[in-house]
Each structure stands twice: as C-alpha cells, then as structure tokens.
Amino acid sequence: MDTIYLDNNASTAPDPLVIAAVSEAMASLPGNASSHHAFGFQAADAVERARGSVAGLVGARVRDVVFTSGATEANNLALIGLWEASRIDSPSRVRVLVGATEHPAVLEVADYLATRGALVHRVRVDSLGRLDLNDLKAHLTDDVLVVSVMAANNETGTLAPLPEVSDLAHSVGALVHSDCTQAMGRVSVDMTRDGLDFMSLSAHKMHGPKGVGALVVRRGVVVFPQLRGGGHERGLRSGTINTPGVVGLGVAAELAASRLGEAIAIRAMTDKFIAKLENTVPEVELNGHPDDRLPNTANLRFVGADAEAVMMGMPQVACSTGSACSAAVPTPSPVLLAMGKSQQHAAESLRFSLSRTTTHEELMTAADLVRDSVAYVRSQLGHEVA
Amino acid sequence: MPGHTYLDHAATTPMRPEAVAAMLPYLSEQFANPSGSHRFAREARKVVDDAREVIANVLGCAPGEVVFTGSGTEADNTAVRGTLARRPGTVAVCPAAEHHAVLECVHLTHGVVVATTTTGAVDLAALVPALDEAGETVGVVSVMTVNNEVGTVNDIAAVAATVRARAPHAVLHTDAVQAASWLDLRAITPHVDLLALSAHKFGGPKGVGVLVVRDGVRFEPLLVGGGQERERRSGTHNVAGIVAMAEALRLTDIERAGQLPRIGALRDALVDGIVAALPDVRETVPRAAKVAGSAHLCIEGIENEALLFLLDEAAVCASAASACAAGAMEPSHVLAAMGVPRSLAGGALRLTLGFTSTEADVARGIDVVVQSVRRLRRAS
C-alpha cells in the first residue's frame, strides 16, 4: 500500500514545476553566480529573478531578500546577527522576547543569546497556543531589542496575531522578527501589513527543494553576518550561491503566491478529516486554535492512546508526534507542554498536516486507519472509553 | 552552455550527470524529512547515512565523523569560530593565502596570520615561531590543502607534524575544498582534526558541503535549533544534495588516477601554448608545486579586468582570482602574500581545468587568450 503522506509540516513534495526548474538550472546554469563571465552572469540573472519572486511573496523589496541554506540558518542569522550588531548600535536594548512555542531554531538561538548577556523571556501562550498579548505587554519595556514570534506554529498550526504583536513591539522601539516557515503558501504574509522587520522562510515547506531558504530583512535593520568569507549577499551571507536551489525557491514562491486561494479547499479537507475522526473515534481533542489555525494542520489528542504506538499501528500513514527535528528519542512535545497540556496529553497527540496534493480519498482512508489503530492501542493499554 | 569554453573549474564545476541522476528521486517523490519517525522519513534517514558512509570511505574516516553542512564556507566558519568558541581565550592561526572563508574568521577573532612562501604554500619557518610565540593560546590552526587561486599544494603531513610538536593542544583544520579532484583525501584526513569539503567543486551540487570532525574533537555548532547531525549542525538535511555529493565524490575518487595525467597534460599544453606565443608571461607557481588542473599566469602589460572582458566576449570563461563576490575584481591577497608585485598581480589570470575539459577547450583557450592579450597590448 502506498504511503499516505500527512506530514507536510515536516517537508512538502517539491512541485513538478519546481523539479523541472531545478533540473533545468543544474544543466543550463553550471556557473558560479559570482563569476565575471557568461556562466556567472547567467546564474546571477536567475538568482536575481528568484529574489524578486520571494520578495513578491512576502511584500518586501527585492534587495531585502538574503538567500540562506534554510530557515534554521535564517533564524540564526536574524537573531544572533541582530544581537551582535545591536551591541554597537543600541547596547541598552538587552531583552529578547520569543514566543514560548517557537521552533527550536529560535528557542535555542535565544538560549545562546542568553549566554552572551541577553535577558530572554519566553512569552506565554494560552491553552490554544495563542500568544498571550498581556504577557507580551507586561514584558515590553524600552530595553527590548527584538520580539520573535512565529507566524504559524509548526505543531498545532495556531496563527500569531502579527499586526498586534508588531504594533506593541514597535511602540517601545523593539524590532519584530517572525519565523514564517510554516505560513508560506498556506496563509498570506505581508511584511508591511504584518509589521515585520525581518522574517525567515524555507523552500521545502512550500513545495520547493531542501537546502535553501531566505532571511528577508527590511532596509535599516542591521544584522551582522554569521557566515563570512567571500562577501556574497551584500556581505550578509558568504558562500557560493546555490543557484539551482534558489531558482527552485523562486518558482515555489511564485506558485505559493498564486495558490493562496487553495487554502479554502485545504481547510475544508482538514475539517472533514477532523470531523470524521470526531465522529468515529471517542475522546478526540483538537490541539491548537479551532479557527486561527493553518488550513492544513490537525493536531489531535486521542485520550488513552500513546501516539507512538498509534503511529506504529498504521505504518501507511506518515504523520508525526511532534516537530521533525532530531527526534531520535521521543520526548513529549514542548509546544503542547507550553500550552499547559500534561505530559500524558502530549504523548497522546499526533500531528496530521495536509498539502494541495492530499486527496479526499486518501484522507478518508487515513481516518479509518487512525480509528482502527487508536482502538487497538486503547484495547492493548486497557483504556476504557468513557 | 554550448559554444562556451569553460576554464574556471576552481570557481565551480559542472555537475556530473550521475550526480544529477542520483539526486532526482530525492528532489521528487522521495522528499521526506529524515528527522521524522514514519517509514518514509526513516528511508530518507537511511539514504543520508548511506551517503555518509560513501563519503567517509573516500575520506578515510568513520561515518560518524562526517557532518553535513550547507557549504564549504559554513564548514570553514564552523571549524575556526566553532573551535574558538569552545576554547575561550584561544586564537586561530593561519597562513596569509587562505580562502576568505578562513581568513576573515581569523581576522575577526584577532588571530595570527603567518607568511607564505613565494609559491603560496605555508612557510613552516614562519609558522613555527608564530606557534611558539602564541604558545598555549593557540586554539586552532587552519591550513588549506590546495590554494584556490594559484593551485599550490600544502604538505599537510608536514604541517601536522609541526603543529603537533609546537602546539600539541591545538585543533588542526584544513580547507580541502579545492583538493578532492586532485589528491587522495585518505592521505590528508589522518593528519587533521577537521576538514572542509564543498560538493560543487567536484561535480556535485551547490548548497552542500562537509565538515569532517575527527572522533573526540569538540566545537560549538554555528547553527543551532533542531539538533540534527548529532547536535553539530542544525537544519533539515538537504537529502538530494547530500546524495548527489556522495555520488560525485565517489566518482571523483574512482576516476582521479585516470584523470590526473589527462588533465595535467591539457594544463601543460594550455600554459605552454600561451607562454610560447606571448612574451612577458610568467607562470606564477612552478607546476610541480601545483595541482594538475590549475594554471595561473601573470601577464605583463595588461589589466586582467579588461582581459576577462575580452575573454567573456569570445565565450571563454576564466577568472582573475577567486570567484567570491567581493574579491573578484580586487587585488588578490594570495598574490600579495606570495610577494608578487602589484603591477604584475594586475595581470593575473587563473585558468582551471576539470573533468569536462577537452583538447578543444585548450586550443580555444590558447587562441583567445593570445589574441586578447595582443589586442590589449597593442591598445596600451
């Protein structure tokens, strides 16, 4: 039986148009985009076109786009680079506020900054994963350097009220960074409307290739480079440009911008999937916000059914128990714990994430497989359904 | 591109068709994130680990010592700055002809830059007193295996013997980004603690590299958050790029013994042809000190910016120095380190060959370089 792939928040299938563009670039653009000859100029032209596509997707200026190896690098560059630059420009701003349910690529960077002297606060979220704006306000003093809040949570899909966050942060002169990795192509992000000073994104979460992403930095925001030597990307990010990867990101960005309208249909499918499970499986709980959520994400708790065991009982269904990072040792989701859920609740939660290629038929099949696996696990563990 | 003569393999190589073929399945249907826990993810993880084994075999190290990065630059940055971050209060030491990816990190951290010889090789007579003077504070020594501009090979075994004797606690890193096509890396790896590779210099894709971390060598990661690569490099694995890199390196390693004499003969013909037709052209480094694919000339009486413009017009791809964004049209720090006078360095031309190079490339290269230089000299 074919795998039913419901792990699109971990990675998405590259679009056929992306694959074609990357393959074409590997063949026809062999040069180094920094070289001063025809091969180099042609590669550089393709890179600049892709830069325009990414800028268009997020409402930025073309020159604001800095290509990186992915969102992890972009988040590292954004926050460490800003911290280093600000030690000279605004040394009195020593506070860094990050959402409590940020991706490790933000949380661990914040922890690192704490070792360099930053005073880090993790802004609370409520039981639906929504950023607690009162907690944010309470910690927004005029020595806050930056507030980093993800546009959409990778595990629950809960969306952040970015315009409100930005207004609050800007009112004390703090900058706003957003890890928009999961939002790209799923909900609209506009740096001006949302008040973002800089944002991170990754190609492989929006049907582009792995190994490429971007940090988009509004003019006037100074970050120190983290990769040095060569002076690529206006000195902000050294290293030979991954031309085929960047071309793939550009095509993915164009497609994402043109397909935002599909979110409605994907949302309907996700809702149907949830409804079917709620109708066929007792004691199911939705994690995350019921409405302000990514259209493709359903994070569900099956009371009394260990999530790892449920996954093992349905090997055809590719889903996840948390984020897809170095999950060699299964640990309860820190995101759900930050939302006030118990260890047991977290250990009984599974994330299903759809994409535009998910079909109704496979989704309904998956719901049946989940139902059966949950029932089996519950019977094995002796869980009596109330 | 058809009709072009590509003599810039040190900037980047075309991809090997086998590497493209190897990566396509992972660019399309097998796209899972290897960090997941479902079957699809486990398959991707196995593919990454298979690639790790292939690369370890070519390098002569254990698979667990291979850390995948996003580039050679990232690997070099991690090696130098990551080591220093782990060892507060220590400094980095490198020769003046290192690639910017090492040199800038050493400058940034107020390290020690030592002299090179006139061929651009590290000068052990300068390295020894530098290590002695810095003493216990030497945290990392970084010496490139092959110079990217002039092609000079450093004797890494001799460097290692010196470093181990004079700075026994120091970590030894080598930027081997330019080496894979020309040298058996199994003879390099055993001497060092850290080693950087970049896939696009040996027929692999751009956007992926390797940092070899010998067992027991500790550094602070440059990218955090996610904990991939056993906490040594966070970020979703570029599965397709990693697979393609392994295939390119495997083939490079297999074909090396056959390619070296072929490419060496092409390089000799190229240099001999130009030198025979033009007066006042100097080979910057004796061929015996260089890798087989590298030609570097200092041409008197011309400016290389004008020469490269004419070469490009005639569809010949070459370079003046490295292909880095800032450095391409600036005076070469490598030539300065070698003591080449600025007047002569202004006429520097780097022609680098590789696995796709042909006799026709050489003939065309000689013809266009000679004609272009004559034209520029007449005009001046």
Among B33, B101, B329, the residue with its CB nearest the CB of A230 is B101
In 3D, which of B268, B334, B329, B276 has the Cα closest to residue B295? Answer: B268
B197 vs B200: CA distance, rounded Å: 9
User: Which residue from A minimizes the CA distance to B70?
Assistant: A69
Nearest residue in A to B204, CA atom:
A26
CA distances from A294 to A181, A184, A258, B143 (A): 12, 10, 17, 49
Fold annotation for B15-249: Aspartate Aminotransferase; domain 2 (3.40.640)
- In this complex, do A10 and B36 lie within 8 Å of one another by their Cβ atoms? yes
- What pLDDT sits at residue B326? 44
**Shortest CB distance from A243 goes to which of B32, B77, B206?**
B206
Q: Which two tokens stand for residue B148?
A: 């990217």
List chain B domain ranges: 3-11+255-377, 15-249
Half-sphere exposure of B214 (CA within 13 A, CB side): 14
Is A325 a catalytic site residue? yes
Which of A18, A26, A246 best probes binding to B when mutated, by most B CB atoms within 10 angstroms? A26
CA dihedral A342, A109, A86, A121 (to 10 degrees): 10
Scored b (16 or more CB within 10 A) or e, B3-42 reads ebbbbbbbbbbbbbeebbebbbebbbebbbbbbbbbebbe
Taking the domains of chain A in order of start, what are their residue ranges?
4-12+261-381, 16-258
At A285, which helix (H) or strand (E)? strand A284-287
At B123-150, the pLDDT tens digits run 999 999 999 999 999 999 999 999 999 9
- How much of chain A, in percent, has pLDDT values that exceed 90? 94
How many residues are present in chain B?
A: 380
| Helix, strand and coil percent figures for chain A, each rounded to 5 | 45, 15, 40
The domain at A16-258 falls in which architecture?
3-Layer(aba) Sandwich (3.40)
Cβ neighbours of A5 in B, within 8 Å: 32, 40
Half-sphere exposure of residue B167: CA atoms within 13 angstroms, side-chain side: 26
Cα–Cα distance between B293 and B295 in angstroms, integer?
7
What digits encode the pLDDT tens for the residues B142-186? 999 999 999 999 999 999 999 999 999 999 999 999 999 999 999
Do the chains contact at B312 and A37, CB–CB below 8 Å? yes
Query: How far, in Å, are A46, B10, B241 from residue B308 at the CA level?
Result: 22, 16, 32
Q: Which of A35, A71, A204 sits opposite B317 (nearest CB)?
A: A35
Whole-model pTM: value is: 0.95
Per-residue confidence in pLDDT tens, chain A, 386 aa: 689 999 999 999 999 999 999 999 999 999 999 999 999 999 999 999 999 999 999 999 999 999 999 999 999 999 999 999 999 999 999 999 999 999 999 999 999 999 999 999 999 999 999 999 999 999 999 999 999 999 999 999 999 999 999 999 999 999 999 999 999 999 999 999 999 999 999 999 999 999 999 999 999 999 999 999 988 998 999 999 999 999 999 999 999 999 999 999 999 999 999 999 999 999 999 999 999 999 999 999 999 999 999 999 999 999 999 765 555 566 789 999 999 999 999 999 999 999 999 999 999 999 999 999 999 999 998 888 76
**Chain B contacts in chain A segment 188-217 (CB below 8 A):** 202, 204, 209-212
Q: Which residues in chain B (294-333) have CB-CB distances under 8 A to chain A?
A: 308, 311-312, 315-320, 322-329
Contact A72/B236, CB-based, under 8 Å? Answer: yes
Query: What are φ and ψ of residue B282, in 5° steps?
Result: -120, 135
Of A22, A73, A229, the CB nearest to B100: A229
- Record: contact B33-A10, CB cut-off 8 A: yes
CATH topology of A4-12+261-381 equal to that of A16-258?
no
Q: Compute the distance between CA of residue B152 and CA of residue B109 in angstroms, rounded to an integer.
A: 26
Q: Any residues with CB less than 8 A from the CB of B263 and at least 6 apart, and which?
A: B292, B293, B353, B354, B355, B357
> Which chain B residues contact residue A244 at CB under 8 A?
205-207
CB A177 within 8 A of CB A148: yes
Domain A4-12+261-381 has CATH 3.90.1150.10: yes
CATH number attached to the domain at B3-11+255-377: 3.90.1150.10
User: pLDDT tens digits, residue range B284-305?
Assistant: 999 999 999 999 999 999 999 9
ipTM: 0.94
The answer to whether residues B276 and B330 touch, using CB atoms and an 8 Å cutoff, is no
The pair phi, psi for residue A133, each rounded to 5°, is -65, -25
* Cα A213 off chain centre by: 11
Provide the shortest C-alpha distance from residue A56 to chain B (in Å): 23
- Separation between Cα atoms, residue A129 and residue A199, nearest integer Å: 20
